[in-house]
Amino acid sequence: MKSKANSIRKPLKESTLGYLLILPAFLIIFFMMIYPFFETFRMSFFRVSLADIRHETFVGLRNFSKIFSNDWPNFFHDILPNTFYFVGGSIILQLFLGLFLAILVNQKWLKGREIFRAIFILPWVTSAIIISISWNFMYEPRLGILNYLLRTIGISSPPNWLNDPNLAMLCIIIANVWHGTAFSFIMQTAGLQSIPENIYEASAVDGAVPWQRFIYITFPLMKPFIIINLILISMYTMNVFDMIYAMTNGGPLYKTEVVSLFMYHQAFEYGHMGLGSAIAVLILLINLLLTLLYMKLNREWAEV
């Protein structure tokens, strides 16, 4: 009986020790992620002022209706198109540039591949604020390098990049793509290196040319990595705030006011914490919708 009791106590002690070891990590996750999420969700149903955050008034879904009834900027006319323009442009360029660079660096004939990998990853490890300031200097109308180069080739009136309503968002997308392509490059490089080399060797024996190997071998085997990459860069780009805030702060004329910046302005500049929380919940729902669409796309690809 004693041996049986000891055999029961030993796994119990081991499991208790295991729970105690993961308790600090769980507490960090709870206080940094889980609790703020539920608190934000709860606050979205209340009218809360930043000046008097302890005083709350239950308003139900009024904060959500106020998001869509705001006149300037209007959510459907200004915020949503700007957001999808920024997210869509960034995702497409990051995905294809990352894949192109990954295929290029993965070629055996390229010398110094490790050096190129390190160079391509550098923008990702650089602070977004530093990148924003650097691109601001390049876009500067009078002293920026871009307009200097345009003047040297004979263009006397170069664009006023970040102050032009038609160019400001494109300028931010270019800066964000320069910053974020490194992540897609890392993901696609991992995908390419997971493909067995003997498959390519067998296809070469069968007479397949490079574009056929890409269409019939590389792309099908890269689909899981592409879907994961799409999900992660979509969520990251949807939540980009610091770069747009540092470069234009939503201007000119709200042409770069995306949903994350709209949330910041409402919550911390105008002091409407309840409304800002409702916008945060909306961002979560948009991210969830995009993730479900990507998962559906992944299932359709798997059936092909």
Q: Are residue 168 and residue 205 in the same domain, yes or no? A: yes
**Residue 47: strand pairing partners:** 57
Q: Are residue 132 and residue 76 in the same domain, yes or no? A: yes
Q: Are residue 256 and residue 201 in the same domain, yes or no? A: yes
Average pLDDT of the segment spanning 251-264: 91
Closest CA to 87 of 233, 297, 285: 233
Structural domain total, the chain: 2
- Whether residue 257 contacts residue 126, with contact meaning beta carbons closer than 8 Å, is answered with no
The domain spanning residue 293 has which CATH number? 1.10.3720.10
Residue range 98-108, pLDDT digits in tens: 999 988 888 87
Q: Are residue 83 and residue 152 in the same domain, yes or no? A: yes
Q: How many residues does the chain have?
A: 304
| Mean pLDDT computed over every residue of the chain | 86
- pTM score of the predicted model: 0.85
Residue 302: its pLDDT value, please? 64
201: left (phi over 0), alpha (psi -120 to 50) or beta: alpha
Residue 18: its pLDDT value, please? 75
Q: At residue 279, what are phi and psi to the nearest 5 degrees?
A: -65, -40
Q: At residue 55, what are phi and psi to the nearest 5 degrees?
A: -95, 115
Residue range 64-100, pLDDT digits in tens: 998 888 777 888 889 999 999 999 999 999 999 999 9
Indicate whether 12 pLDDT > 70.
no
Q: Are residue 122 and residue 188 in the same domain, yes or no? A: yes
Average pLDDT of the segment spanning 231-259: 90
In a domain, 244, yes or no: yes
